[in-house]
Amino acid sequence: MSAKLDKAIRRLCIALAALLVFAPAAADENTPNYVERIEAESEGNVTFDIPDNVLDLIFSGFREEKKPQKSVKANVLHSGVNKLSGYRIQVFSQGHGQGSVEARAKARGSAVVAKFPKYRGQVYSYSKSPNWYTRVGNFQTAAEANRALAELKRAFPQFAGEMRLVRCQITIVK
């Protein structure tokens, strides 16, 4: 008996689902179809009155507008301390390890100054937890920094693989 009851309930559920799906369609026969109505009244020609400000919003991504170019100012140096965008050479970058990372970072900077006295006062050792960094120089152009990088790599081949240019704020005293 149970199997017959399950079958009857299943048929009833299917009939109710079909009724729910097809009943609204049958009731809509008297409801006007707006698409057909517009097609009939406009004879196939439809015009839209869209305000200009809305059109501007719609097409703003497609129109080619000339953007004002940013003026590129050369780095003007004033007397005293000047902070500007430039390059430094990172000669040390390490985090956790054996021994004092801080001491090794500062020793790397001292080694550079010992071989290249022109970098005295231009060695920057600092930490951003958990890492220590040592950067050398204050270069205004990438070309100038690349020449110095090549020079340092030749002088210190044992850690040449660690060296790289870093774009950052530099300090120039005039």
Clarify whether residues 101 and 27 are in a common domain.
Answer: no
Any domain includes 139: yes
Asked whether residue 66 is domain-assigned, the answer is: no
Residues 99 and 160 in one domain: yes
Among 109, 104, 102, 107, which residue's Cα sits nearest to residue 88? 109
| Residues 160 and 119 placed together within one structural domain of the fold | yes
The answer to whether the CB of 120 falls within 8 A of the CB of 110 is no
Tens-place pLDDT, residues 103-138: 889 999 999 999 999 999 999 998 888 889 999 999
Give the chain's mean pLDDT.
Answer: 80
Question: Does 70 fall in a domain?
Answer: no
pLDDT in tens, 29-59: 566 676 677 667 766 666 667 777 777 777 7
Domain end call among 11, 27, 50 = 50
pLDDT, position 160: 92
Range of the domain at 166: 81-173
Residue 151: which CATH number?
3.30.70.1070
Q: Compute CA distances 108 → 77, 80, 104, 123, whole Å.
A: 30, 29, 6, 10
This prediction's pTM: 0.55
Enter the tokens of residue 127.
Answer: 């930490």
Tens digits of residue pLDDT in 19-36 = 666 666 555 556 667 667
